[in-house]
Amino acid sequence: MLKASYSEKLLSEFFNTTERTINNYVSDLKKTGLLNVAELKLGEADYPYNVYQFDELKKDYFEILPPFINDINLSPKLKGLLLFIKANCWKGTNFLLFNGITTDLAEKIGVGKNQIKNYLTELESKGYIRFIGKSLHITNEGFPLYRKEDMWNVTYEIIYDHCLEHDRIPPIKNVDNKRKDEKLSYIVGKYSNEYDRLRNALKERCKNLPQNLTLEYFCQVLANKKPIKKEQAHTPIIL
């Protein structure tokens, strides 16, 4: 149901801020339509406090895991910055491309050009992001690549991780209305859920990866199939 019932006092303690700040945050979220609040008096109905409800999103969203929210190694500001980075990643990935750190990257993630290098340096030094050429990658485990664990998603993640291990930008998926990618389907058809066999094939056949990787490349190398390459436009996720 995506519902929760907490007192503002408890929320303020959880986020290490004041009740007034929490009240302002809730007000702002209500105005934007991101949060519905059923204001209840103490002891009424099934909940002793206000009930906060989020509508289930069907598209243009991403998920983060609770350990990231509870991570004490990052300030709220840097956590927020990581969320903006994620919102600008290619759909289904944890990376984005840029031309210059203080130009288009700063503009994309809403950070001033005088501050962005310091913020990114701290995130990189703590292991939350990494750079490969002119691409920025989120490496924190709190940002999963998928919600549902199936053979297509796990297969893509294995290929994705193999690319990062070899300092290459992973390929982009182009899913249909069933959330399946044709090229991945060929690879899944070849390996099914034999993930160790897939990893071994990647190690043996993909030791020296080209610079510009596509799923067509992996489809041909891993499954001996050569599908037609389809271009995919970049659609950033809206927060």
Determine the Cα–Cα distance for residues 165 and 113; give it in Å rounded to an integer. 30
Determine the Cα–Cα distance for residues 156 and 151; give it in Å rounded to an integer. 8
**Burial of residue 32, with CB atoms counted within 10 A of its CB: 0-12 exposed, 13-18 middle, 19 or more buried:** exposed
Q: Which of 6, 68, 15, 16 is nearest to 37 (CA)?
A: 6
pLDDT on residue 225: 80
Q: How far is CA 167 from CA 52, 136, 148, 156, 199, in A?
A: 43, 12, 27, 17, 17
The number of residues in the chain equals 239
Q: How far is CA 37 from CA 22, 26, 27, 30, in A?
A: 13, 8, 9, 7
**For 77-119, how does the pLDDT look when each residue is reduced to its tens digit (9 = 90+)?**
999 999 999 999 998 999 999 999 999 999 999 899 999 999 9
**For 134-153, how does the pLDDT look when each residue is reduced to its tens digit (9 = 90+)?**
999 999 999 999 988 999 99
Are the CB atoms for 120 and 98 separated by under 8 Å? no
